[in-house]
Amino acid sequence: MPTADLALLRLVQWLSPAFPTGAFAYSHGLEAAVVAGDVTSEAKLADWLSDILAHGAGWNDAVLLACGLRGEDLATLCDLARALAGTAERLKETEEQGAAFARARAEMTSTCTKPMPLPLALAEAARGLGLPPEQVIALFQHSFASNLVSAGVRFIPLGQSAGQRVLAALHPLIAQIAQRAATATRADLAQSAVRADLQSAAHETLDVRIFKT
C-alpha cells in the first residue's frame, strides 16, 4: 500500500469516533441551544452548524490547525487557542479532548507529547504524515461536525437519516473552509458566532445537563 494511503488511514483513525478523545460527551453549547428552543429541527441544526463552522470556533480551529501544520511554534499557538476560547466550557472542551488525544496516541506509539488544545495536538501528530493541509483540515472539520450531528440526533432528537442529511449538506462548506484555511494565517482568525458563545455560557448553569459542554 502506498505511504500516502497509510498516512491517510492513520489520520482517519485519529479522527474516528472510536479514538478515545471522549468527543461524544461534548455538545459545544448545542444542548443549551436546544433547551432554549433555538435548535429544534433538521434545518435549524444545519444552520447552527454552518455558522459554527464558518464563523465560530470551527473556523478558528481550522486556521490554528493550518498554522500548526506548517510548522509555527506550537506553544505560541496554544496560548492563542486558549485565549480564543469564548467561555470556560469551550476551553474545557478543547483542552480535555486535546489531552485525551495526546494520551491515546502516546499509548499507541510510545510517543510522549504535552497536552494541547485539540487542533494543535492534531497538528503536532499530523506534521509528519505528508498529507495536504487542506485534506487534514477537511477531515478534522468533518469529525467535529459529525460529533455535533450525533449530539443533535440524540438530544433534539432527530432521526438518524435526518442527521446524515445534515452532515452530507455540510460537505461543500467543509471543503470550502479547508481550502481557505490551508493558506490562512493568524491574521485571519475571527469569530462572530456570538449567539453560540452565549449558548455555551448558558450551558454552565443548566439545571440538568447530559453533555459536559
Q: Which one is the CATH code of 3-203: 2.60.120.380, 1.10.4190.10, 1.10.375.10, 2.40.40.20?
A: 1.10.4190.10
Cell output for 131: 498529507
**pTM summary value:** 0.95
Q: How far apart (Å, rounded) are the C-alpha atoms in residues 42 and 79?
A: 36
pLDDT tens-place values along the chain, 213 residues long = 557 789 999 999 999 999 999 999 999 999 999 999 999 999 999 999 999 999 999 999 999 999 999 999 999 999 999 999 989 999 999 999 999 999 999 888 877 678 899 999 999 999 989 999 999 999 999 999 999 999 999 999 999 999 999 999 999 999 999 999 999 999 999 988 888 889 999 999 988 899 999
Cell output for 187: 491574521
Q: How far apart (Å, rounded) are the C-alpha atoms in residues 182 and 178?
A: 6
Q: What is the DSSP letter of 208?
A: S
